[in-house]
Amino acid sequence: MPFLFSISGYHNAGKTTLALSLYEILKNRGYKIAVVKSSKEKDIFTDIPEKDTWLYRKKGVPLVGFFQENLFTLYLNPENFDLSSFKDWYVYFQSLFWNFNIVILEGFKNFDIVQKIWVVKEKDEDLKRIKSEIRNLLGFVVKDDLERWESLYPEEKFFLFKDYETLANFIEELIRKYEPRVLLKINNKKIPMKSFVEDALIYPLLGFIKVLKEVPDKIEEIEIKIKLNKKLDKEEI
DSSP string over 161-176: TT-HHHHHHHHHHHHH
Q: Of 178, 208, 224, which one is at a domain's C-terminal end? A: 178
Regarding whether 197 and 162 lie in a shared domain, the answer is no
Regarding whether 11 and 120 lie in a shared domain, the answer is yes
pLDDT tens-digit series, residues 38-60: 776 666 567 788 888 888 888 77
pTM passes above 0.85: no
Regarding whether 98 and 74 lie in a shared domain, the answer is yes
pLDDT tens-digit series, residues 153-189: 999 999 999 999 999 999 998 887 766 678 788 887 8
Q: Which helix (H) or strand (E) holds 6?
A: strand 3-9
Regarding whether 161 and 47 lie in a shared domain, the answer is yes
The number of folded domains in the chain is 2
Average pLDDT across the chain, whole number: 82
Regarding whether 190 and 109 lie in a shared domain, the answer is no
DSSP string over 121-137: -STT--HHHHHHHS-SE
Regarding whether 147 and 36 lie in a shared domain, the answer is yes
Nearest Cα to Cα of residue 66 among 80, 76, 78: 76
Q: Of 178, 202, 219, which one is at a domain's C-terminal end? A: 178
Regarding whether 68 and 31 lie in a shared domain, the answer is yes
53-62, 186-195, 207-216 — most confident range? 207-216
The neighbour count for residue 140, using CB atoms within 10 Å, is 22
Regarding whether 146 and 42 lie in a shared domain, the answer is yes
Q: Where are the alpha helices (DSSP H) in 29-74?
A: 52-59
Contacts of 28 (CB under 8 A, 6+ apart): none
Regarding whether 167 and 206 lie in a shared domain, the answer is no
Regarding whether 147 and 212 lie in a shared domain, the answer is no
pLDDT score for 142: 94
pLDDT tens-digit series, residues 136-156: 999 999 999 899 999 999 999
Q: Of 134, 153, 178, which one is at a domain's C-terminal end? A: 178
Q: What is the CATH number of the domain that holds 124?
A: 3.40.50.300
Regarding whether 202 and 161 lie in a shared domain, the answer is no
Q: Which range, of 65-69, 88-92, 183-187, 191-195, averages the lowest pLDDT?
A: 88-92
Sign of CA dihedral 87, 91, 96, 98: positive
Regarding whether 43 and 155 lie in a shared domain, the answer is yes
Domain that holds residue 229: 185-236
pLDDT score for 197: 79
Nearest Cα to Cα of residue 22 among 158, 169, 164, 121: 164
